[in-house]
A and B are shown apart, each in its own frame.
Chain A
Amino acid sequence: MKHPFHEPGGIYVHVPFCVRKCAYCDFCSEDDRSRIPAYLNALVKEIGGARPPSGLAFDTLYFGGGTPSVLAPEEIGRILAAVRRRLPLLPGAEITIEANPGTLAPGALGELRRLGVNRINIGIQSFSDARLRFLGRIHSAKAGRGAVRRARAAGFDNIGLDLIYGLPGETASDWRAEMRSAAALGPEHLSCYMLTYEPETPLARRLARGDFAPLDEARVGRRYRDTVRFLADRGFVQYEVSNFARSEAVQSRHNRKYWNFAPYLGFGPSAHSFIPPERWWNEAPLGRYLKHSASERSPAAERETVGYGQQIIEAVYLGLRQTRGIIVADFEARFGLDFKGTFGRVLAELRRKGWLDTSDAARCALTPAGMLFLDGIASMFVAVDFPDAPPA
């Protein structure tokens, strides 16, 4: 249960601005960009006050949002400088920025490169203008393609694209065409997300009003299976429910920290931090975050100590999200529990259903069919009566 820092940590910076809210989005972001200066001041102050545990160095930095690319490169530069001043960022660190194709000014990409940003994740979402409109995106399909080409031209050699599937009326061939278009642009990384109707979003309201019929669950399930197969054939290996990479080297090093109990510090409204076993998260939305900053209060909204039993839940759920699964020896060493003894009944049931990947006894991983029921399966593991405190 002790956690010396075997591995470097990650840094996350939340940029809570977008040109316009997308219809499905429930992230912390807003379209009033007049608050950018106030935000930057508060953010730089927060980073300046960070107190990382001694001995912890960082090898990833991730600008997420919102739309970090709404910031001018100089502004990104200012944040980077604040980070480097305060936190030990290792040479060769993965520095990612999320970008919206509608916000990439000419010249910006090159400047980001020069600042040291070496990975870009572009929110393409779709190659159909009709679907982009349905989602409330600000850009066209053409702009999406252009953004990828320009990123390549600016020297980015690690490009990720985000796509969304499972839209109303979407056919299997529609979705395959989307993936084909994405693959044709030659990205290193793809994230394919099922459309979810998050409560309180405009899209969820339209759904509730009956403006459209959602794609039925069975079809969405089939799209998922199709995705895994289709992308595998094109050299993209799935490493997490929604993430695919051309090689292990271009998997998102930063996101993997979230799934593997690595430490991370988050800055900006709604950002989460985790220095095992403590987790805390910042105030949101931006207004509250700014208020706390102005009155010299900590931006943290809530904290928790993730206890032994809770860590087991997280290790199971997050382990199973990844195709490599739970590494049994690691799990047993960390929790002092016999994995097969503890979860034997669940494992047997999963095996019966063909949901357990039995190819490697050292790992507990789900088959692609099993992955489709990940939440229910995690719940089966969690229902087991494992101890709430480490065995004496």
Chain B
Amino acid sequence: MKNIRNFSIIAHIDHGKSTLSDRLIERTEIISQRDFKDQILDSMDIERERGITIKSQTVCLPYKAKDGNAYFLNLIDTPGHVDFSYEVSRALASCEGAFLLVDASQGAEAQTLANLYLAMEHDLEVIPVINKIDLPSADVERVKEQIEEDLGLESERAILTSAKEGIGIEEVLEAAVQYLPPPEGDPDAPLRALIFDSNYDPFRGTIVHFRVFDGRIKAGDTIQFMSNNATYKVEEVGIFQIVRVPRKELAAGEVGYMIAGIKTVSDTSCGDTITLKKNRCDAPMPGFRESKPVVFSSIYPVASDDYEDLAAGLEKLKLNDSALIYEKDSSVALGFGFRCGFLGLLHLEVVQERLEREYDLSLILTAPSVQYELTLNDGEVLVIDNPALYPDPSTIESAREPYIRAAIIVPDRYMGAVMKLCLDRRGINRNYQYLTRDRLEMIFEIPLAEVIYDFYDKLKSVTQGYGSFDYDIIDFRETDLVKLDILINGERVDALSQLVHSERAVARGRRACEKLKEEIPRQMYKIAIQGAIGAKIVSRTTISPFRKDVTAKCYGGDISRKRKLLEKQKKGKKRMKMVGQVEIPQSAFLSVLKTED
């Protein structure tokens, strides 16, 4: 065990975690140069396209250290985006240490701090790494000062790296060996292993990812999940080295996977403890804090007969995304679907894309909403996140909405811009403090509903990319809520309704109509779009019909050009939903929430 090191790489988004992981992987040569690609641990299409990490990934690196000993380094690359901090926190639960990366040109940002706090909660040894020192704008001295002052870490221990150019890689590996503690635990005690992730393989069933804290596990063992007592016979155990590599046995301190013919998807849950049926350990691992969804939206298949596939897809996706929650839902306009809870808008988009890609579905998501608390006249308290369930307003005594505490880190020259942005979003400025000479941390209390959509993009744009932001939900506060409905050709489309603050309602209604006008293609008849609160129409617009729609000239023998266009439209129509007579594209359902461009 003393030859094992388990650590995560954590940082603010884009500071270079996955690129540093690449260099460490390359250096330890577990994969041939030919098979290598950049950000190799970002294996999902959606990660590669967006250039961000969404899932934590584990890789086991064999390393011969300067002390002459051979080590196994279990590295976990984590995501940096605020929506996925739950992934980080689970990764940290399997580690004894963490490298905290700081971009040498950006300095410490909001998730640098947030992730450091997470690591400290888990009692981990944290080693600062200053990355991207190759950049002309790198300012190592300044970042060192931030490491001391903002982060409270020892800056002389900081390792200087350029993941891009492969500088400082050896130092990181050596630091892991020298400064991070080896795992503790008793290989001879009864098996106690913590499930931190899993995924579904169509050929082999559920693949369970875990860290062994005590005991051993090998093929042939009969294991038991402690939460539900389900038992399975282990077919294979192994470690992650980009691909799964089978091993005879995994013992205390090691990280790996297990295949056990698990066909009942719901048997496996993240945070559960695995033990042996014959030789049970006395207490399960503490597991993970439940992740709390903050935005809710309903998912419907565009083709209603895909409902069963959607149900199966969600169940399997949940294995690999334990933060996702869902329950059955139905809509007049869209039929049967699921109401889902997400950790943020990016999480929502990721779930949608993964379901569409991995399970070949075409989906509609309704406008996301936060959760509201309503007190009815008879004293009953309702918690709702679905506009469709909003009761008759005359029965509502009072309503409350969730507030967050937003911590925003910016260079002080943007103070005014950030202040304006937050006040525009009904925010209250609670505090601000200088972190270093010209960097501020500003604290606001803002209704969650005001930040879920495009707050982060706005913050980035008003601060020219320098602002960063982290938040926690603090409480529910009194609010004045109304339900904004959208009518298309006079028909109320329940899936387009949203709950909004009354002061915002008219502007929102106007905006939603405009957005829908942009999103819904012109058709052969006139389309009227209206925003309504109760019986009162607050906004309206119309999409004028085609007066002609014909290509005058067919270019000689170039028949393919027009055919390809028709094929494209056919595909497009598969992503549209007929509501009454009107074809509404998938994207329109989310567009109603956009505030402005």
| Binary B-proximity of A258-287 (CB < 8 A = 1, otherwise 0) | 110000101000011110000101000000
Chain B residues, CB < 8 A from A27: 555
Q: Does A342 reach chain B (CB closer than 8 Å)?
A: no
B557 touches A374 (CB 8 A): no
Are A375 and B556 CB-contacts (below 8 A) given A317-B563, A383-B570? Answer: no
Of A193, A221, A273, A314, which contacts B548 at CB under 8 A? A221
In whole Å, how far is B520's beta carbon from the nearest beta carbon of chain A? 14
Which of A217, A272, A373, A374 lies in contact with B556, CB distance below 8 A? A272
Say whether, besides A310-B563, A379-B569, A383-B569, A266 and B551 are in contact (CB < 8 Å): no
A266/B557 contact (C-beta < 8 A), A313-B563, A382-B567 known? yes
Which A346-376 residues sit within 8 Å CB-CB of chain B? 353, 371-376
Question: Which residue on chain B has the smallest CB distance to residue A194?
Answer: B552
Chain A residues 304-361 with CB under 8 Å of chain B are 304, 306, 310, 313-314, 317-318, 321, 353
Which B-chain residue is minimally distant from A281 (CB atoms)? B558
Cα–Cα, bound, A317→B552 (Å): 13
B563 pairs with A220, CB closer than 8 A: no
A378 lies within 8 A of B566 (CB): yes
Distance in angstroms from B157 CB to nearest chain A CB is 59
A273-B557 Cα distance, complex, nearest whole Å: 7
| A242 adjacent to chain B (CB < 8 Å) | yes
Q: Which residue of B lies closest to A302 (CB)?
A: B560
| CB pair A220 B548 closer than 8 Å | yes
Assess whether B524 is in contact with A373, with CB atoms less than 8 Å apart: yes
With A and B bound together, what is the CA distance between A234 and B46 in angstroms?
A: 62
List residues of B (488-543) whose CB comes within 8 Å of A's CBs: 523-524
Q: Please state if A313 and B548 are interface contacts (CB–CB under 8 Å).
A: no
B203 contacts the other chain (CB 8 A): no
Distance between Cα atoms of A194 and B569 in the complex (Å): 23
> How many whole Å from A125's CB to the nearest CB in chain B?
13
Given contacts A317-B563, A382-B566, A383-B569, contact A64 B556 (CB under 8 A): yes
Closest residue to B583 on the A side, CB-wise? A383
Residues of B in contact (CB 8 Å), total 24
User: Smallest CB–CB gap between A282 and chain B, Å?
Assistant: 11
**B551 and A374: CB pair below 8 A?**
yes
Residues of A close to B556: CB separation below 8 A = 12, 64, 258, 266, 271-272
- Pick the residue among B547, B550, B558 that contacts A375 (CB under 8 A): B550
Contacts of B573 in A (CB 8 A): 379, 383
Neighbouring B residues of A71 by C-beta, 8 Å: none
A290-B551 Cα distance, complex, nearest whole Å: 31
Q: Are B557 and A376 in contact (CB under 8 A)?
A: no
B-side contacts of A375, CB under 8 Å: 549-551
Q: Please give the distance in Å from A50's CB to the nearest CB on chain B.
A: 15
Task: State whether A220 touches B567 (Cβ < 8 A).
Answer: no
Other-chain contact of A221, B523, B547, B551, B560 (Cβ < 8 Å): B547
Given A382-B567, A383-B570, do A258 and B559 touch, yes or no (CB 8 Å)? Answer: yes
Determine whether B247 belongs to the interface, using a CB cutoff of 8 Å to chain A. no
* B548 close to A317 (CB less than 8 A): no
- Decide: B550 and A371 in contact? CB cutoff 8 A: yes
Q: B560–A279 contact, CB under 8 A? A: yes
What band does the interface of chain A fall in when counting residues whose beta carbon is under 8 Å from B? 35 or more
Query: Does A196 interact with chain B (Cβ within 8 Å)?
Result: yes
Q: Are A242 and B553 in contact (CB under 8 A)?
A: yes
Cβ–Cβ contact B548 & A258, under 8 A: no
With a cutoff of 8 Å between Cβ atoms, the chain B residues found around residue A274 in the complex are: 557, 559
**C-alpha spacing A273/B569, complex, angstroms:** 25
Q: How would residues 545 to 588 of chain B score, 1 for a CB under 8 Å from any chain A CB and 0 otherwise?
A: 01111111111111110110011011001000000000000000
Q: How far is the CB of B42 from chain A (nearest CB, A)?
A: 34
Q: Find chain B residues with CB under 8 A from A374 CB.
A: 549-551
With a cutoff of 8 Å between Cβ atoms, the chain B residues found around residue A392 in the complex are: none
Closest to A264 in B: B557
C-alpha spacing A353/B523, complex, angstroms: 14
Which residues of B are found within 8 Å of A196, using beta-carbon distances? 551-553
A141 at the interface (CB under 8 A from B): no
Bound CA–CA A28/B490 (angstroms) = 49
Closest to B544 in A: A217
* Cα separation A382 to B571 with both chains bound (whole Å): 10
Residues of B within 8 A of A376 (CB): 523-524, 546, 549
Q: Does A184 contact B (CB under 8 A)?
A: no
Given A266-B556, A314-B559, A376-B524, are A217 and B548 also a contact pair (CB < 8 Å)?
Answer: yes
Q: Determine whether the beta carbon of B566 is less than 8 Å from that of A12.
A: no
A12-B556, A281-B558 given; A313·B566 CB < 8 A? yes
Query: Could you tell me if A373 and B567 are in contact, using CB atoms closer than 8 angstroms?
Result: no
Contacts of A306 in B (CB 8 A): 560, 563
Q: Is A249 an interface residue (CB 8 A)?
A: no
Cα A328 to Cα B554 in complex, Å, equals: 23
Question: Taking the nearest CB of chain A, how far is it from the CB of B85, in angstroms?
Answer: 43
Interface centre among B524, B557, B569 (most CB of A within 10 A): B557
Q: Measured between alpha carbons, how far is A272 from B556 in the docked complex, in Å?
A: 8
CA distance A218 to B559 in the complex (A): 27
Q: Are B558 and A241 in contact (CB under 8 A)?
A: no
A220 touches B559 (CB 8 A): no
Residues of A close to B566: CB separation below 8 A: 313, 317, 378-379, 382
Considering only CB atoms, which chain B residue lies closest to A309 in the complex?
A: B567
List of A residues within 8 angstroms of B570 by Cβ: 313, 379, 382-383
In whole Å, how far is A60's beta carbon from the nearest beta carbon of chain B?
12
When distances are taken between beta carbons in the complex, the residues of chain A under 8 Å from B548 are 194, 217-218, 220-221, 224, 372-373
Closest partner residue, chain B, to A62 (CB atom): B556
Contact check, B557 vs A218: say whether CB atoms are below 8 A apart.
Answer: no
Q: Which residue of A lies closest to B551 (CB)?
A: A375
CA distance A253 to B179 in the complex (A): 85
Q: Is the CB of A313 within 8 A of B567?
A: yes
Q: Mark A372-392, 1 if CB is under 8 A from B, else 0.
A: 111110110011000000000
A310 CA to B551 CA in the complex, in Å?
Answer: 19
B303 to chain A, nearest CB (A): 10
A281 to B564, CA, bound (A): 15
Nearest B residue to A259, CB-CB: B554
* Cα(A314)–Cα(B561), bound, Å: 11
Q: Tell me how far the C-beta of B549 lies from the nearest C-beta in chain A, rounded to whole angstroms.
A: 4
Complex Cα–Cα for A300 and B566 (A): 24
Which residues of B sit under 8 angstroms from A372, Cβ to Cβ? 548-550
| Min distance, Cβ A280 to any Cβ of chain B, angstroms | 10
Q: Of all chain B residues, which has the CB nearest A273?
A: B557
CA distance A194 to B553 in the complex (A): 8
Complex Cα distance, B559 from A259, in Å, reads 8
Assuming A383-B570, A383-B573, is B563 touching A321 (CB within 8 A)?
A: no
A381 nearest in chain B by CB position: B566
Q: How far is the CA of A242 from the CA of B552 in the complex (A)?
A: 6
Do A317 and B562 have beta carbons less than 8 Å apart? yes
Nearest to B548 among chain A residues (CB) is A221
Quick one: given A372-B548, A373-B546, A376-B549, are A12 and B554 in contact (CB under 8 Å)? no
Do B557 and A193 have beta carbons less than 8 Å apart? no
Which residues in A have their C-beta under 8 angstroms from that of B569? 379, 382-383
For the complex of A and B, list the 4 residue pairs with the smallest distance between their C-beta atoms, beginning with the closest: A272-B557, A221-B548, A218-B547, A217-B547
18 extra interchain contacts, Cβ-Cβ under 8 A, other than A281-B558, A375-B549, A383-B570?
A12-B556, A196-B552, A196-B553, A217-B546, A217-B547, A264-B557, A271-B556, A304-B560, A310-B563, A313-B563, A314-B559, A317-B563, A318-B554, A373-B546, A376-B523, A376-B524, A376-B546, A379-B570
A-B contact pairs, 6 of them (CB 8 A): A241-B550, A241-B551, A271-B556, A271-B557, A374-B551, A379-B566
Chain B: residues with CB nearer than 8 A to chain A?
A: 523-524, 546-560, 562-563, 566-567, 569-570, 573
Identify the A interface with B (CB < 8 A): 12, 27, 64, 193-194, 196, 216-218, 220-221, 224, 241-242, 258-259, 264, 266, 271-274, 279, 281, 304, 306, 310, 313-314, 317-318, 321, 353, 371-376, 378-379, 382-383
